[in-house]
Chain A
Amino acid sequence: MKTNIYVKRRVAVVGAGLTLFRRRMLETPKELAWEAAKMALDWAGLELDDVDAVVIGSAPDAFDGVHMKGEYLADGSGGWGRPTMRVYVGGGTGVFTPIAGWWHVASGLFDVVLVVAEEKMSPAQPHPQFVFKHIWDPILERPLNPNLIWIFAMEMHRYMYKYNVRKEDIALVSVKNKRNALDHPAAQLAAKITVEDVLNSEVLVYPVQRLDISPVTDGAAALVMVSEKVARRITDSPVWVEGVGWALDSTQWTNRELAYPKYVEVAARMAYRMAGINNPRKEIDVAEVYDPFDYKELHHMEGLMLARKGEAPILTREGVTERDGDLPVNPSGGLLGVGNPIAAAGLMKVAEIFWQLRGEAGGRQVKKPAYTGLAQAWGDLMQAGTVIVMRAG
C-alpha cells in the first residue's frame, strides 16, 4: 500500500467533549450532540462562529430510528449553514470521524473543524440486537437466525484455541477496564469486580459471558480539530494528529483466519508509516483499543502490533496494560466500563488520548509520561479497522 505521507498541513486537536454515557437518556440525539460539541468548543476556548466545517459520525440510522441521521444531527452539531458531512463505517465510525476531520484540515480546505459523534442505542425495540442482525448475508446466514454474539463467540473461541489463551486472562481485561472506569465521570458500568465474577457470570453464547460484553448505551462525544496556524494562536499544548489509517476486509467473514484482525494491521501500518513509527510497542505510550468485548482488546492489541500474536494476554496478566504499567491500554475504562454508544464510544477513545497527552485526564492519568498515543476502533462484520496516532505538542 502506498500513501502520500507528505500531507499538506499539520492538524491539531485542541478540545474534546463528552456527555454522560447511560442506558437511556431523555435528551434527543440532537441535544446529546450539542452537549458534547459545546463542551469541546469550551475546552478549546472557541465559539461556534469560529467553526468552518462540521464532520458528523453516527453508525446505522436504525439505532436512533431516524433516517439520514447526519442531516438530522446537523443543527445540534454546529452544522447549520456550514459545510457538513456524515461518515459511517459501523463500529469503526468513532475513530473514522476524526480521520475525516483531519483530512478536512490537512487538505487546506478548512482551519477549524468540529467533529461530533452521537449514538442513541436505546430507542430500538425490543433490543438493538435486532438492528445488528441485518449485517449478515440475507440468504446465506440469516436463515440460521444469527445473533451478533455468535460471531464474537466464534472469533473469541478461535483466538483462544489458536494461541492457547485462558478465559481467566481474558476476564482480566473486563476487570481492569471496569475498574479504570471508576475514575471516569461519564461512565455507565464502572465497577470493582474480580476474575471470578466474570467467570461466574451467565454464559450467553459460549465462550461469551455476561461480564465479557459492553452495554447498550446512549451518548455523544466531540473534538475540535484545527490547522497549525490556529493551534499556535489558541493553545500552548496542541495534540497533533500524526498518523491516520483505515482499512476494510470483506463482509464474507468466513474468508479469513479469525484469530488475527489483518484489517486492523493494514490500518495501523498506514497510520504508523505516516507518524514515522517503526516499533509501536516501544513508541506508543498509551493506547485506547476498541473493547466491545474483553477479548477484543487483546485481539486488537495484536493487530495493532502492540503485542506479538498471542502475547497480549500475557502482557495483561503481567500488568503491563494497567494504568501504571509500561503500556497502559484503555485507561478511560473503555467500552466495557464507560459504555458503548457505537460511534460516540470510538470518539470517546480519541478524546481520552487527547486528555492523556495533555495531562488533563485527572484520576485516569497514566503513570508514565505520555507523549505518543493511539486510538483504534473496529466495526461492521468484523471487517473495518480505523486507527489514529497523536502526539503531545
Chain B
Amino acid sequence: MSWDKVGLPTKLRHWYGDMEVEGYLYTAGIAGEKFFKTLKERGKLLASRCMKCDVSYLPARAYCPSCFSEITEYFEVEPEGNVETYTILRVGVDGEKLEEPVIVAFITFDGVNGGLIHRLGEMDEKDVEIGMRVKAVLKPTDERRGEITDILYFKPA
C-alpha cells in the first residue's frame, strides 16, 4: 500500500500524533545576557575579544572557540555597519504572496568579526546593494526588552 497510489495521506487508515512539548525556555547564556542587557540599556551592540588570538566576536562570546580561552574583554560597537549580503522575500513561510517584499540582510560591523542577520527598512528594494552602509533603528528605550527585536530594522546610514 504505497502513499503515491492512494493519493491523499488521510485516505490511509491512520493515527494522529503530535510532539507534545508545549515550548522551550532558552537562556541567552553568560555572554548573551551581557549582549542583550547592553542592547536594552545602551542601544549598542556588545562584542568580545580573545586577547590570546586577538580575534573579536559579535555577538559577544564567553569563550574563544579557536583557542578555548575564557573571554573577559567586552566592548561596545555602534549599531552601524555594512551589508555583506541580502535577500528579498516575496513569498512567506506558508507559501503566501507577500504584499510588501521584505529585505533581509547579513550585516557586518567595523573592526569586529561576525555580524547579525536583520531586516532592512525605510528603503526601496531597488536601492539595496551589497556593501551599502546601514544603521539600526531601535525601539524607544522604555519599550526595549533585551531582545533582538529591540532593533526594528536597519536603514540606510
**Residues of A near any B CB (own CB < 8 A):** 24-28, 30-31, 34, 37-38, 41, 47-49, 62, 65, 75-76, 78, 80, 122-126, 130-131, 133-134, 138-139, 142-143
Contacts and interface: CB of A to CB of B under 8 A. Distances in A.
A130 B27 contact: no
Nearest to B66: A80
B41 to A, nearest CB: 18
B84 to A, nearest CB: 20
B24 A123 contact: yes
B91 to A, nearest CB: 23
A62 B63 contact: no
Contacts of A37: 68
B63 A76 contact: yes
B157 interface: no
A1 B19 CA distance: 38
Given A26-B33, A28-B32, A31-B63, A47 B27 contact: no
A38 to B, nearest CB: 5
5 contacts: A26-B30, A27-B27, A65-B26, A122-B25, A125-B24
A80 B15 CA distance: 42
Contacts of A126: 22
Chain B interface size range = 20 to 34
Contacts of B62: 31, 34
Contacts of B65: 34, 75-76, 78, 80
A28 B22 contact: no
A41 B68 contact: yes
Interface in B28-76: 28-33, 62-63, 65-68, 70
B29 A133 contact: no
A133 B20 contact: yes
A138 B66 CA distance: 43
Nearest to A31: B29
A140 to B, nearest CB: 10
Ordered nearest first, which 5 A-B pairs have the shortest CB separation? A28-B29, A65-B24, A75-B65, A48-B68, A123-B24
B8 interface: no
B23 interface: yes
Contacts of A26: 27, 29-30, 33
Contacts of A41: 68
Contacts of A34: 62-63, 65, 68
A28 B28 CA distance: 6
Most A CB within 10 A of own CB, among B22, B27, B62, B70: B27
Contacts of A48: 66-68
Interface string B85-104: 00000000000000000000
